Structure 1
Amino acid sequence: MYRESFYRFLMTQIDPGSHDDIAEFANNAQHDSTFPKQEQDYEALADYLELNAGYLPEMSIFDRAYELYQEKMQY
């Protein structure tokens, strides 16, 4: 079964006019040239974001986005 990367999922959340936390995360992540675009693993993504994503004000935003990603990957 094919499972898309977290980055591909996150790019579906882009909404330049939105003030939603996840949309803002997606809007900023699309400009992050070093984002691990093929990654699916929570720990690897969390480690990257904690060290490199100054644009992410709270890790809880990533946690919520990752939960949505997991829900989508169930189907």
Structure 2
Amino acid sequence: MKRSFYQFVLSFRGGAKEDSFAVFAEYMFNDLSFPKDETSFDTLSRYIEDKADPNMPSVVFDELYQLYEERFN
């Protein structure tokens, strides 16, 4: 079964404060409304653009999603 994007990104939590993936993961973890079971790029991208914290920039999301796709597709 394919892991959700949320589950994948949590693996970056606890990294260095300068690590953009770790920062993104921490803010995502603290965002109680983040779509935790979602795998779709379009749905997640819309959420990031419309509702996410500014510390979760779309450019970092795009990089993380590319890694997610490479790993699970």
- TM superposition score normalised by structure 1: 0.87
Unaligned runs of 5+ residues in structure 2 are none
Conservation of the 8 A alpha-carbon contact between 2:9 and 2:64: yes
Distance in 2 of aligned mates of 1:32 and 1:40? 17
Distance in 1 of aligned mates of 2:40 and 2:63? 15
Q: 1:51 to 1:42 in 2, by over 3 A?
A: same
Give the structure 1 partner of residue 68 of structure 2.
Answer: 69
Q: 1:43 to 1:56 in 2, by over 3 A?
A: farther
Give the structure 2 partner of residue 45 of structure 1.
Answer: 44
Equivalent residue letter for 2:24: F
Distance in 2 of aligned mates of 1:16 and 1:64? 16
Give the structure 2 partner of residue 30 of structure 1.
Answer: 29
| SS of alignment partner, residue 30 of structure 2 | coil
Structure 1 segments, 4+ long, off by >4 Å, are none
Unaligned runs of 5+ residues in structure 1 are none
Q: 1:67 to 1:24 in 2, by over 3 A?
A: same
Distance in 1 of aligned mates of 2:7 and 2:56? 21
